[in-house]
Structure 1
């Protein structure tokens, strides 16, 4: 039997698996991706949103500009409109710039964000093929399509996986140092390592239909929108523009007593959501029914095998954070695995993945579930006279519109989920006694507390500080008079990649209060101080996972 070799085997070529593969390859790691679908086989119509944090990742991986060129037409507004029906009266609107104006727009609820890469509205139909083609073109990435991982065994040095060719029925083994399961909600890898999903199995059922309706856009009054929320006493639902011309995804949010996807006539519900008559013609391309859940795996790792994305967590896709949380998993895991392959990270450094990502996904899952429950409550409370003519109806619509805006602006412009989350209790962070600032789905406070995202700023000539970060750790030095040579020597002795970036004279955010801020490859702060700790070599041992930060090491 033929045996292949690779540093890392990634199971699943969705956005999470492809991001992990690209990030590993960018660090010189040899990656094999096993995917049961054919090459470039279209994905289902799922995620419609790429967060700012994910776009920062894609910027670094060199695929960001290509993504920006795809999706909705350049001038198509990314707004979220709330109406009595898609073709009915508008209640309120959340303004979000079209991709043509994404870098230059001001005044909107997400245009002020401190990032080099604002969010991008693009359906997975367009996103995934771009990621696939980019990943497959990277040196060190091998994509095996129509290939199923049927099992694996672990030993002290690596993992041996059995690969089944779904076209020929032949089998072969692959020997790797690590395996990452990015194989979705029904993950075989998760089941194989004995991890269990825990939480709330059913929050809401959604009857979802992907349609082609070329005449619909002309029937919608006013400016178009990326997303339409239909609010009326007959049926509440959501519609997303897919190509900005003729294809749409319609979500019919089922009520609690509607216990299965066939309990409501699909055609009737679609027409009530759209606000169209019985003679309106549309084509059903596919049915995409789904169940909103809040489930997080009880563990993300078994020795050399890891899970990420939907394999590790499933929740109601409010705030668009299902896929984006998985991309954050991939970025967190990638540099830790690379540290092992490159030989500078201690084996215990891998403990950081579960220690950091599992609590965050638990927290985000609760944010999403709580918002889903508020939305369910709002849909149940739609007044019967919402569509009534005259001053009384107008006043009621204005009230409902204000409530809808206040409730939903935080999920569509979720600054807290992008920039506020932080890691605690990690073996490779050095706490200094200051608590990270609290955050919500919508709001955050920039901070350099270890574990927080290093606040963004622009360097001279318009270069993002993130573009200047090194592949391991980067020491931002605000005061060039601080001698850091001892830390450089200690890092070099342990082969820990350390870059010193002098930022004196730059326009730094106020959060950069310390002379030195040590930033990890994933943009999170690891340590800070006004001078080096008394034991720079001890700090390096913490950074590579070989020692715990038992005492405050910040000066």
Structure 2
């Protein structure tokens, strides 16, 4: 019998992120994945958010990801055109990866972070994560292995997995199991969790093609080119920046199905090419846009993350990225318990924190989907007409497309604005967290919010100074913090004190206590005279839940 602390079902970006985070904390973890080692994923996700890149920075893999994907100088812009090879209507400027750390102009710069977003397709991203994960001691990946079921009791879980090459079944014993096994999650079904929401918002006929001559037909290429015309609207995503492209044909009507729409004719209408244009279909990646959130993220020692827990329209790229946020949230909670410095009841915080956020973010995505669908379905017939009348229509449509979509492609709010306001392990102080939109947010030290960005006196980013447990940021070096430090260390909590220059913003309180996942857990101007109740709350000791 294989024994491990945490069994992760699914070796995609979410499962690998969870496994790497756990292993970085010294937790033994085993990942089971049905694909063979090195077998590429489908061509799906194309965007790694800034928050995800911050996580990968902490895990030591951000630079490796930056060094792959599109060519270093390939424009990461979003271009709105009549067709992919037609008249440009507007363009959202996004720095290429060569300039990502240094660019200062355009709507996608000036992020309050050391790790801005990264445009990279999952077929390039996942091998980097896999190689990094496979090199970590205490992290085992079992490829060509399928999860079948599990049983649990107060002492742990026993899962049954099957080797897909030999057909033999074997048990794995673990303290916890986490389903990162996608939309058809077997772990979700095993914990009796049900997806609720809107099962169909839109169907998208998606095709991965090899077209070596397409780049030469584009006068100014982009990472994403969106075609707006009355015949067929669609999206063309540059995969390798050279010859391979992913084309999303956004079906127009509710009665259109994947098979009822001429795929070849639609591709040519979106690209703006004639019958002599040659291309090869590499795969069909058709998908259905949904808004579904599971009614529970946990049952006892079993959890679900990512698409196993929530599915929605991939606007702003927040399917995979929300899953990675799930993973880092759960990793530190599991680590706290398994390392012995927190009560098992601290795990109640996972569902209490993440479920409301996914519900909220999914509604942002659904609202954006409705507006974009409306825009695509009302493209004026005159948009390709030459002369002043056509120019006026193109200007109006281009500006409207820019104003709407800059919110999702330069989405500071979704990256930095979300907060936990219902957590049982955060010490709230009565202050209300500032609201946020998809695009905009207000940095705040209010408990539950993301710790505001700052730099230390040695030039380091404040997030680089956060330890694996709790870190006390001190904006006034004269404030005594020994009682809290002693109480934390008496409980075995990894704890550090970091002085932040008073010149840095958000020193509205002299002390800010941050968790390893960058969220504020408590703030004040002095530590409590008796810090035991605060420490008890932060460690889940005062909760009434448990392993069942």
Q: Scaled by the length of structure 1, what TM-score is found?
A: 0.97
Q: Distance in 1 between matches of 2:149 and 2:543?
A: 35
CA contact (8 A) 1:300 1:307 kept: yes
Aligned counterpart in structure 2 of residue 499 of structure 1, from 480, 492, 496: 496
In the alignment, which residue of structure 1 is the partner of 2:513? 518
Q: Could you tell which deviates more after superposition, 78-87 or 485-494?
A: 485-494
- 1:235 counterpart residue number: 232
Partner in structure 2 of residue 143 of structure 1: 141
Contact map agreement 1:196 1:297 (CA 8 A) in 2: yes
Q: What do residues 213-268 of structure 1 show as CA deviations (whole Å, max 9, x unaligned)?
A: 100001012x2100001000000000100000000000000022343101110000
Task: Name 2:479's counterpart in structure 1.
Answer: 482
* Aligned with residue 421 of structure 2, among 405, 421, 424: 424
Q: What is aligned with 2:175?
A: 177
Structure 1 residue 512: Cα displacement: 2.8
1:461 positional shift: 4.1
1:133 aligned partner: 131
The one of 182, 190, 193 equivalent to 2:191 is 193
1:244 aligns with 2:246: no
Secondary structure of 1:160's partner?
strand
**Which 4+ runs in 1 deviate beyond 4 A?**
none
Partner of 1:115: helix, strand, or coil? coil
CA distances 1:439-477 after superposition (whole Å, capped 9, x unpaired):
000000000000000011122343111111111000001
Query: Any conservation in 1 of the 2:457–2:501 contact (CA below 8 Å)?
Result: no
| Counterpart in the other structure of 2:81 | 83
- Pick the aligned partner of 1:466 from 463, 468, 479: 463
Matched, 1:532 2:527: yes
Instruction: State the match for 1:552 in structure 2.
Output: none
Map of 2:504 onto structure 1 = 508
Paired with 1:257 and 1:185, the residues of 2 have a C-alpha distance of 22
Superposed CA deviations along residues 109-155 of structure 1, whole A, max 9, x for unmatched, are 12111001000000000000100010011011000011111110100
Mapping of residues 131-530 of structure 1, within 5 Å:
131-221=129-219, 223-505=220-502, 507-509=503-505, 511-530=506-525
**Displacement of 1:535:** 2.2
C-alpha distance in structure 1 between counterparts of 2:127 and 2:277, whole Å: 33
Task: Decide whether the 8 Å contact of 1:162 with 1:172 is kept in 2.
Answer: yes
Aligned residues: 544
Gap runs ≥5 in structure 2: none
- The question of whether the paired residues in 2 share the 8 Å contact of 1:301 and 1:354 is answered with yes
Q: Is contact 2:307–2:323 with CA below 8 Å preserved after alignment?
A: yes
- RMSD (Å) for aligned C-alpha atoms: 1.0
Asked if 2 retains the 8 angstrom alpha-carbon contact of 1:422 and 1:453, the reply is yes
Q: Corresponding residue for 1:13? A: 11
| Mean Cα deviation higher: 293-302 or 525-534 | 525-534
Structure-2 separation of matches of 1:255 and 1:445: 37
- The residue number in structure 2 matching 1:64 is 62
**Partner SS, residue 20 of structure 1:** helix
Contact 1:258 1:264 in 2 (8 A): no
How far residue 70 of structure 1 moved from its aligned partner, in angstroms, is 0.2
Secondary structure of the structure 2 residue equivalent to 1:49: coil
CA contact 2:457–2:500 (8 Å) conserved in 1: no
How far apart are the structure 2 equivalents of 1:169 and 1:267? 40
* 1:163 CA drift (Å): 1.4
Could you tell me how far apart the structure 1 residues matched to 2:530 and 2:450 are?
25
CA contact (8 A) 1:206 1:253 kept: yes
Q: Distance in 2 between matches of 1:349 and 1:277?
A: 61
